[in-house]
Chains A and B, each alone.
Chain A
Amino acid sequence: MKKYKTKRARKEALAAYTFILPFITGILIFNVYAFLKNIFISFTNKKSFGAAKFIGMDNYVRLFGDEKFYQALINTLCYIVICVPAIIILSLLIALALNVKLKGIGIFRTLIYLPIITLPTAVGMVWKWLFNNQFGLINAVMGKFGIQGPAWLSDPNVSLIAVCIVLIWCSIGTAVIIFLAGLQGIEKTYYEAADIDGANSVQKFLSITFPLLSPTTFMLIVTEIIGFFQVFDMIFLMIPPTSSGMAGARSIVMLFYEEAFTKFNKGYGAAMANILFLIILVITIIQMKLQKKWVYYG
Chain B
Amino acid sequence: MRKMKKFAALGLALTMIATMLTACGGSDKSGASNSTSGETTSEDSQAAQSENAQTEAQGEESAPAQASSGEQVTITYSLWDEIQSVVYQELIDNFEAQNPDIHVEMQLTPWDQYWTKFDAAAGANQAADVFFMNVWVPKYAEAGVLEPLDSYMERDGFDFSLYTQSIVDTGTYNGVHYTVPKGTDSMAVAVNTTLFEKYGVTVPGSDWTWDDMMAVCRELQGKIAEAGDSIYPMAFMLNSNNGSWQPVVYQFGGRVFNEDGTSGYSSEESIAAIQALVDMIDEKLIPDYQMVSDTSAEEFFISGQACMLYLPTFSSQKLEQAKMEGIELIKLPKAKSQEFIAGSMHYGMNAASEHKEEAWRFMQYLASEEANDIVGQRGIDLPARISSQSYYASSFKQFDGSAFVEGLTEAVPYASAPGYAEDAINSITNDDIIAIFTKQIGVKEGMEKMAEKINAEIESGK
Chain A residues whose C-beta falls within 8 Å of the C-beta of B305 in the assembled complex: 134
- Size category of the B interface is 35 or more
Chain B residues whose C-beta falls within 8 Å of the C-beta of A11 in the assembled complex: 6
Chain B residues whose C-beta falls within 8 Å of the C-beta of A126 in the assembled complex: none
Q: How many A residues face the partner with a CB closer than 8 A?
A: 35
Contact A244 B46 (CB under 8 A): no
Assess A241 versus B424: contact at CB under 8 Å? Given A133-B290, A155-B290, A261-B116: no
Q: Among the listed stretches B173-181, B357-365, B375-383, B425-433, which one makes contact with chain A, having 4 or more residues with CB under 8 Å of it?
A: B425-433
Q: Please give the distance in Å from B437's CB to the nearest CB on chain A.
A: 8
Chain B residues whose C-beta falls within 8 Å of the C-beta of A258 in the assembled complex: 427
Q: Please give the distance in Å from A92's CB to the nearest CB on chain B.
A: 35
Q: Complex: how many Å from CA A22 to CA B23? A: 13
Assess A244 versus B10: contact at CB under 8 Å? Given A14-B46, A48-B123: no
Q: Is B126's CB within 8 Å of the partner chain A? A: no
Assess A240 versus B143: contact at CB under 8 Å? Given A15-B10, A262-B427: no
Q: Complex: how many Å from CA A246 to CA B46? A: 55
Contact A50 B17 (CB under 8 A): no
Q: Which of B17, B119, B289, B434 contacts A48 (CB 8 A)?
A: B119
Q: Is A80's CB within 8 Å of the partner chain B? A: no
Q: Is A245's CB within 8 Å of the partner chain B? A: yes
Q: Which of A133, A246, A263 contacts B428 (CB 8 A)?
A: A263
Q: Is A34's CB within 8 Å of the partner chain B? A: no
Contact B143 A49 (CB under 8 A): yes
Q: Is B122's CB within 8 Å of the partner chain A? A: yes
| B375-426 contacts to A (CB < 8 Å) | 419, 421, 423-424
A-side binding surface: helix, strand, loop or mixed? loop
Q: Complex: how many Å from CA A18 to CA B6? A: 11
Q: Please give the distance in Å from A134's CB to the nearest CB on chain B.
A: 5
Q: Which of B10, B119, B430 contacts A18 (CB 8 A)?
A: B10
Q: Which of A15, A47, A151, A261 contacts B294 (CB 8 A)?
A: A151
| B278-301 contacts to A (CB < 8 Å) | 289-291, 293-295
Q: Complex: how many Å from CA A246 to CA B294? A: 12
Chain A residues whose C-beta falls within 8 Å of the C-beta of B419 in the assembled complex: 47
20 more CB-based (< 8 A) A-B contacts, given A242-B240, A243-B239:
A18-B9, A19-B13, A21-B17, A25-B20, A48-B123, A49-B145, A50-B143, A153-B293, A154-B289, A155-B290, A242-B239, A242-B241, A244-B289, A244-B434, A244-B438, A245-B290, A246-B430, A247-B434, A258-B427, A261-B116
Interface residues of A (CB under 8 A from B): 11, 14-15, 18-19, 21-22, 25-26, 47-50, 68, 132-135, 151, 153-155, 240-247, 258, 261-264
